[in-house]
């Protein structure tokens, strides 16, 4: 690799290449693009990154992204608090919302079980989900396991189902119908497919 | 679906050669070392993107050339298709590149292309399937499953993915970096995928057993020859499989990987109760392999209505006159096949009008007779 860039340029390239899907060559292209843009645009980008890290945190109830203590969905009195949909990532909430089929609340795990990637149950918000579901404040009626239909998503759903059966056996457990192609991410599912998957969810 | 022609550039001994393949039987003849096997290998490579003889694609490039390319033209009814495989060896700083396409569009794997013909190959190197480690037979059996029931092809992949996760967890627990908390979950996932895979393998072997015994007898195998699926697990359901895993957990933790499951199954080929792999002569093993491929061919024809293209290298010298006639009769009855032989006289119908004949001399293919 060339070492002839000035240190600030090299630092920018290094930081950019840490982003997912960005190799060293793309990182260099982005860095030179930033160098060419106006100071206002470059500062706006830096500010946006700073602001998102300062203001956005995880909802204290469902661990979705929020700029308050509780996310808008958890605060919404029209949402059915007794129905919890469990998803892997905050990005999985958006397509679910777009279906307009779902009126419950969410629980965002922050990933899926994957020993290969070093992800164990303790690394996900699983204990928090069990506590939440077993809590006496709200009597949860149903938990929809909407993790991805992948190896890791299936294992995560199974793991949570086992935990819930022990901690809160009265809760109905459902899994999204397999309208989704096997191996696909919830994130890439279109609204119609996802709506059908929700309507046809099956008890596990 | 049938192969119409294959075109090779800088492939093994061929700088540039094209061969038309007949709709039924094609006989490739020529002296030893002329390149008959290379032509069969070229057809296989063009249809699958892999060689049946070597894992090192570099060997496929003609000496002194930078790259090789094979194009196979197909007909599905009236509809033409084309598959291509190009391979460029690594040079200096550049990595080796393999490019495959179907009808002009680049694809990652030819095996997933619907217009790809099913293909079955008998070559001296294939004897490894009988003599080699069980993993080769498992992989072959899983390919047979995928060929008979394309929708079930992912069972092996799904099992492998869960197995890899469970192995990673064992290694992490052993290294003190993870708790046992998720072990039961991965055991159950493994059990569910394992039982599916076992059921599919058993189903395929069940279909193969009778035709295999029949073909083996017809080809002159001595004694009672049979094919047996020997799964590692005797579990009747998921719970029992999970229990089997748990019994072996300490050993698994010690090794850092899973020692139980379909990845340890055996597909045994047996004569009078003893494994041919160990107790068979080379000749017996060759006949058993041929019988297995013919059994698969008949099962695929029956179950899927698709007869695989059969590539047979140097098989005739093994058989007496009666069995040569039997084999050629069976191959001519349906589908396409290509037989390579040093002696045209070994193929009973070679002179007839329905047979396509190719004569090979080093580096060239002469189209002697083309049958419609
Ligand atoms: Zn929330």
A161 touches chain B (CB under 8 A): no
In percent, how much of chain B has pLDDT > 90? 74
Say if A72 falls within a structural domain.
no
Same domain membership, residue B258 and residue B151 = yes
Contact B165/A154, CB-based, under 8 Å? no
Mean pLDDT of B318-327: 87
pLDDT at residue B212 above 90?
A: yes
CATH of the domain at A149: 3.40.1360.10
Same domain membership, residue A192 and residue A101 = yes
Same domain membership, residue B137 and residue B59 = no
| Domain count across chain B | 2
Same domain membership, residue A83 and residue A179 = yes
Q: How far is CA A85 from CA A157, A198, B277, in A?
A: 11, 10, 54
B275 pairs with which residues across the strands? B270
pLDDT of amino acid B334 = 86
CATH of the domain at B215: 1.20.1050.90
Contact A155/B161, CB-based, under 8 Å? no
pLDDT at residue A183 above 80?
A: no
Give long-range contacts, CB 8 A cutoff, 24+ apart: B276-284: B276/B130, B276/B225, B277/B130, B277/B131, B280/B130, B282/B127, B283/B318, B284/B221, B284/B222
Angle in degrees, 0-180, between the axes of helices B183-219 and B282-304, rounded to the nearest 10:
110
pLDDT of amino acid B1 = 87
Residues in chain A within 8 Å Cβ distance of B177 = 118
Same domain membership, residue A188 and residue A153 = yes
More confident residue, B206 or A176: B206
Say if B122 falls within a structural domain.
no
Domain ranges, residue B32: 1-117+315-372
Same domain membership, residue B284 and residue B182 = yes
Q: Please tell me the least confidently modeled range out of A189-198, B136-145, B338-347.
A: A189-198
pLDDT at residue A54 above 70?
A: yes
Quickly state the pLDDT bin for A178 (edges 50, 70, 90).
Answer: low
Same domain membership, residue B223 and residue B348 = no
pLDDT of amino acid A87 = 97
Say if A165 falls within a structural domain.
yes
pLDDT of amino acid A202 = 84
Count Cα atoms within 13 angstroms, Cβ side, for A23: 2
Mutate to test the interface with B, among A1, A116, A184 (most CBs of B within 10 A): A116
Quickly state the pLDDT bin for A31 (edges 50, 70, 90).
Answer: very high
Same domain membership, residue B345 and residue B276 = no
Same domain membership, residue B133 and residue B4 = no
Q: How far apart are the first and last CA of chain A?
A: 53
Contacts of residue B282, defined as CB under 8 A and 6 or more positions apart, other chains included, come to B127
Same domain membership, residue A196 and residue A96 = yes
pLDDT of amino acid A179 = 52
pTM (predicted TM-score): 0.85
Average pLDDT, chain B: 93
Domain ranges, residue A113: 78-203
Say if A29 falls within a structural domain.
yes
Where does a domain end: B307, B323, B358? Answer: B307
- For residue B91, the 8-state DSSP code is B
Helix or strand run (H / E) with residue B300: helix B282-304
A40 touches chain B (CB under 8 A): no
Quickly state the pLDDT bin for A24 (edges 50, 70, 90).
Answer: confident
Where does a domain end: B259, B281, B307? Answer: B307
Same domain membership, residue A122 and residue A28 = no
Say if B327 falls within a structural domain.
yes
Say if A69 falls within a structural domain.
no
Same domain membership, residue B193 and residue B303 = yes
Average pLDDT, chain A: 90
Same domain membership, residue B358 and residue B280 = no
Residues in chain B within 8 Å Cβ distance of A113 = 165, 182, 185
Number of Cβ within 10 Å of residue A44's Cβ equals 12
Quickly state the pLDDT bin for B6 (edges 50, 70, 90).
Answer: very high
Mean pLDDT of B250-255: 94
pLDDT in tens, A74-121: 999 999 999 999 999 999 999 889 888 899 999 999 999 999 999 999
pLDDT of amino acid A70 = 96
Number of Cβ within 10 Å of residue B19's Cβ equals 22
Instruction: Produce one character per residue of B328-341: b if its CB has 16 or more CB atoms within 10 Å, e if not.
Output: bebbbeebbbbbbb
Quickly state the pLDDT bin for A187 (edges 50, 70, 90).
Answer: low
Same domain membership, residue B191 and residue B151 = yes
More confident residue, B317 or B364: B364
d(CA B312, CA A51): 68
pLDDT in tens, A113-157: 999 999 999 999 999 999 999 998 889 999 999 999 899 999 999
Same domain membership, residue A45 and residue A83 = no
pLDDT of amino acid A194 = 75
A54 touches chain B (CB under 8 A): no
CATH of the domain at A14: 1.10.8.420
Same domain membership, residue A87 and residue A31 = no
| Domain count across chain A | 2
Quickly state the pLDDT bin for B320 (edges 50, 70, 90).
Answer: confident
Same domain membership, residue B283 and residue B134 = yes
Same domain membership, residue B138 and residue B261 = yes
Q: In what order do the strands lie in the sheet with B225-230?
A: B225-230, B266-271, B274-275
Residues in chain A within 8 Å Cβ distance of B169 = 115
Same domain membership, residue A49 and residue A122 = no
Say if B194 falls within a structural domain.
yes
């Amino acid at each position: 690799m060339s070492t002839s860039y000035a240190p600030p340029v090299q630092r920018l390239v290094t930081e950019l290449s840490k982003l997912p899907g960005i190799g060293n060559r793309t990182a260099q292209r982005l860095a030179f693009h930033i160098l060419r843009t106006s100071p206002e645009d470059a500062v706006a980008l830096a500010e946006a990154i700073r602001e998102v890290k300062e203001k956005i945190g995880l909802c204290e109830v469902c661990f979705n992204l929020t700029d308050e203590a509780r996310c808008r969905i958890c605060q919404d009195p029209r949402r059915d608090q007794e129905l919890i949909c469990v998803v892997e990532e905050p990005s999985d909430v958006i397509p679910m919302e777009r279906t307009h089929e779902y009126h419950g609340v969410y629980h965002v795990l922050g990933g899926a079980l994957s020993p290969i990637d070093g992800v164990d149950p303790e690394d996900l918000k699983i204990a928090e989900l069990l506590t939440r579901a077993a809590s006496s404040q709200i009597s949860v009626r149903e938990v929809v396991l909407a993790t991805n239909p992948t190896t890791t998503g299936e294992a995560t759903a199974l793991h949570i189902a086992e935990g819930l059966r022990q901690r809160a056996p009265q809760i109905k457990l459902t899994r999204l119908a397999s309208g989704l192609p096997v191996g696909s991410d919830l994130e890439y599912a279109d609204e119609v497919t996802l709506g059908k998957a929700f309507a046809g969810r099956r008890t596990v | 679906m049938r192969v119409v022609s294959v075109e090779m550039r800088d492939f093994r001994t061929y700088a540039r050669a094209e061969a038309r393949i007949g709709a039924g039987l094609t006989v490739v003849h020529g002296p030893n070392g002329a390149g008959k096997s290379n032509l069969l290998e070229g057809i296989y490579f063009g249809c699958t993107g892999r060689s049946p003889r070597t894992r090192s694609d570099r060997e496929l490039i003609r000496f002194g050339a930078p790259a090789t390319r094979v194009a196979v033209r197909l007909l599905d009814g009236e509809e033409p298709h084309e598959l291509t495989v190009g391979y460029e060896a690594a040079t200096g700083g550049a990595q080796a590149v393999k490019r495959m396409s179907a009808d002009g569009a680049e694809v990652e794997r030819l095996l997933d292309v619907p217009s790809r013909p099913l293909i079955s190959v008998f070559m001296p190197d294939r004897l490894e399937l009988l003599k080699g480690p069980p993993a080769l037979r498992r992989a072959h059996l899983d390919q047979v499953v995928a060929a008979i029931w394309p929708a079930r092809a992912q069972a092996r992949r799904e099992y492998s993915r869960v197995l890899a996760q469970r192995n990673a967890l064992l290694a992490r627990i052993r290294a003190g970096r993870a708790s046992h908390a998720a072990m039961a979950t991965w055991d159950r996932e493994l059990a569910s995928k394992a039982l599916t895979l076992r059921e599919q393998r058993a189903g395929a072997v069940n279909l193969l057993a009778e035709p295999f015994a029949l073909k083996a007898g017809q080809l002159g195998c001595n004694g009672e020859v049979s094919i047996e699926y020997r799964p590692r697990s005797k579990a009747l359901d998921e719970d029992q499989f999970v229990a089997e895993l748990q019994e072996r957990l300490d050993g698994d933790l010690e090794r850092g990987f899973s020692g139980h499951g379909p990845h340890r199954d055996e597909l045994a080929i047996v004569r009078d109760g003893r494994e041919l792999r160990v107790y068979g002569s080379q000749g017996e093993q060759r006949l058993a392999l041929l019988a297995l491929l013919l059994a698969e061919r008949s099962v695929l024809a029956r179950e899927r209505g698709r007869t695989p293209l059969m590539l047979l290298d140097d098989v005739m010298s093994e058989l007496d006159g009666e069995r040569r006639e039997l084999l050629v009769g069976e191959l001519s009855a349906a589908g396409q096949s290509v037989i390579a032989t040093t002696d045209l006289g070994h193929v009973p119908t070679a002179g007839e009008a329905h047979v396509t004949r190719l004569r090979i001399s080093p580096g060239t293919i002469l189209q002697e007779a083309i049958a419609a």
